[in-house]
Amino acid sequence: MLYKNVGKKLLFKMDPEKAHNVVIGGLGLAGKVPGMSGLLSAIYGVPQYKELETELWGIPFKNPIGLAAGLDKNAHAVEGFSNLGFGFIEVGTVTPKPQSGNEKPRSFRLPQDKALINRMGFNNVGIEELSTNIAHTKRRTIPVVINIGKNKITPNEDAEQDYRTCIRRLYVQADFFVVNISSPNTPDLRNLQHGNELANLLAAVVDEMQIQQAKHGDRGKPILVKIAPDLSDTELESTAKIILDSGVSGIIASNTTISRDGLMHPNRQEIGGLSGKPLTHKSTEVIRKIYELTEGKLPIIGSGGVFNAQDAYDKIKAGASLVEIYTSLIYEGPGVVKKINEGLRELLKQDGYTHISQAIGAGVYGIR
């Protein structure tokens, strides 16, 4: 209630990007102030519930709710977000070289629609500074995922070198990686989701991962692919097959959408990727289709329009093993993480399940 009555009102009086920076700065500072981590955890932390604990790719997750990429682009507040009850955090998108992104303003709220539109353009500090920021994190209590992309000036035919560079430099810092080929805000990036361009790119990142695994003598790091929600059924079928055959570890479904169907707020006319409530059903259907196309063989992280436990549960029953949030954190506040986890426990109980794994894909006919 404190967030909705005080914090949200103050933040929503600011420009969205400025408010974003204030939040990241505040959480970054909170991670360094003695006693503040414990206070945040006491207020917003999620108790460990056996029925919500899970393991994927040999990595343990305290609960299935993670923070999506884009909020903590530069890993300034990993410890702060870790104290808000998340099961994992995704930082980035990061590119090999720093870049300033698109011209401002580039972030817009649509309160009537419980949505956001952004055209940030992969603004980030680059791999060197991000690596330093993660290394300086005092405590890593949850998995840290690094979302990687190509620089705007890098043509698609050379994109694989940018992704290789990110993996090579950040291999030690990441628990796993996400290959972002689906942002609508970098020219031609989404073309990498199709055909030979996708197959060649994934072959390159898998090869680089194997090189780093051999170099470091460990079991390797999982690598996932983040796709757009705007693919046609034919495109999705082709993309899913290429991803499944590539040897990568999973899929994130989905990124922001370029659709503006059903929006009411005047900011609907802004160019960029739309996130939030309007994406809830669309992203869940993409998850369901991917789960069917891959016959449940490839783990999926569901993302898009998750505001409550039912939204998250619908994605899990459609085939998601983990779920991410972003926009709901802006509209509902940090308490939303605990509410979703507590609600998931109740929904599992209602359906007679004793563990979250039993619900994965349970709503997809013919697979489970």
259 pLDDT above the threshold of 60 = yes
The mean pLDDT of 325-352, rounded to a whole number, is 97
Domain ranges of the chain: 2-359
Least confident of 37-41, 293-297, 348-352: 37-41
Say how far apart CA 255 and CA 302 lie, in whole Å: 10
Query: Model confidence over 224-242: pLDDT tens digits?
Result: 999 999 999 999 999 999 9
What does the pLDDT read at residue 228? 95
Say how far apart CA 32 and CA 35 lie, in whole Å: 9
368 pLDDT above the threshold of 60 = no
Is position 183 annotated as part of the catalytic site? yes
367 pLDDT above the threshold of 70 = no
pTM for this entry: 0.96
The DSSP element (H or E) to which 284 belongs, if any, is helix 280-293
Q: Where are the beta strands (DSSP E) in 68-219?
A: 88-94, 107-110, 115-118, 144-148, 176-180
From 183, 246, 283, 303, the catalytic residue:
183
Q: Which amino acid is at 148?
A: I
Count of all residues that appear for the chain in the document: 368
Query: Hey, is 249 helix, strand or coil?
Result: coil
What secondary structure letter does DSSP report for 3? I
Query: Model confidence over 278-327: pLDDT tens digits?
Result: 999 999 999 999 999 999 999 999 999 999 999 999 999 999 999 999 99
The mean pLDDT of 107-136, rounded to a whole number, is 97
The CATH homologous superfamily of the domain defined by 2-359 = Aldolase class I (3.20.20.70)
Query: Model confidence over 155-207: pLDDT tens digits?
Result: 999 999 999 999 999 999 999 999 999 999 898 999 999 899 999 999 999 99
366 pLDDT above the threshold of 90 = no
What does the pLDDT read at residue 365? 78
- Six token digits for residue 165: 């560079």
Nearest Cα to 40, choosing from 13, 2, 76, 75? 2
The mean pLDDT of 349-363, rounded to a whole number, is 98
